[in-house]
Amino acid sequence: MTDRADDKERLLEAVLPHVLFDGWSNLAIKHAAEDLKLDRFAFDRHFPNGPIDLVTYFIEQADDQMELRLDAENAKSMKIRDRITLAVRIRLEIYAPYKESIRNALTLLALPQNAAKGLKLTAGTVSRMWHATGDTSTDFSYYTKRVTLSAVYGSTLLFWLDDSSDDFEKTWAFLDRRIVNVMQFETAKYKAKQFFSKKPASPDFISPARFFRNLKAR
């Protein structure tokens, strides 16, 4: 870890206790700077956009930890359903000590001026989930997989925030149900693809594959 990364991590750790009371805010940064006996400039140098930069760093740090844990679990050797379930579960386990900080982060990212950043961060997390679990697709499925997993991850995250069950048992059951739904959808999509691939062509018939090729060409 570089000195710069060490500095950023130290500043983030100083802010987190204050996020519980002040949210991801300039006030939380002010209190953290006072705790460290630093000038506010120390935060501005590493996080020029203030709270939103801190949230971004916090989420990206969690992404890094997730990738390391998935590699340690040898996730790429698992069945696809187990890989994705594990990726989402690990991501939430990393967040577990910071539940209220996550809630406050979602509140900040829900603001109109931060909505695009929120979508980008979610897309980044989901892409790293797929990458860490061995996905190498580059065709249209690259996008559909990420949209589908974004929906699963987002809904499970929201469910988890309000889950008070022991060891988040209700969340894991919810996640399993969502994954089952996704697998059923993928099976139906595969069967539809097989059906259309065997259907005799007619002058007015456009196969799904041809439709998407035409769409990408525009």
Q: What is the pLDDT along the chain (218 residues), one digit of tens a residue?
A: 456 778 999 999 999 999 999 999 999 999 999 999 999 999 999 999 999 999 999 999 999 999 999 999 999 999 989 999 999 999 999 999 999 999 999 999 999 999 999 999 999 999 999 999 998 887 778 888 899 999 999 999 999 999 999 999 999 999 999 998 877 655 545 444 555 556 555 555 555 555 555 555 55
Concatenated DSSP letters for 11-54? Answer: HHHHHHHHHHHH-SSHHHHHHHHHHHT--THHHHHH-TTTHHHH
CA 81 vs. chain centroid, Å, equals: 17
Q: Is the dihedral of CA 32, 37, 39, 45 positive or negative?
A: negative
Contact criterion met (CB below 8 Å) for 47 and 57: yes
Contact criterion met (CB below 8 Å) for 63 and 125: yes
Gap between the Cα atoms of 36 and 161, Å rounded: 30
Alpha helix locations (H) across the chain?
3-22, 26-36, 41-46, 51-72, 80-95, 99-109, 115-132, 140-161, 169-198, 208-217
The superfamily in CATH containing domain 52-186 is Tetracycline Repressor, domain 2 (1.10.357.10)
141 CB-side CA count, 13 A: 9
| Sequence-distant (≥ 6) Cβ neighbours of residue 30 within 8 angstroms | 40
Residue 20 CB coordination number (10 Å): 13
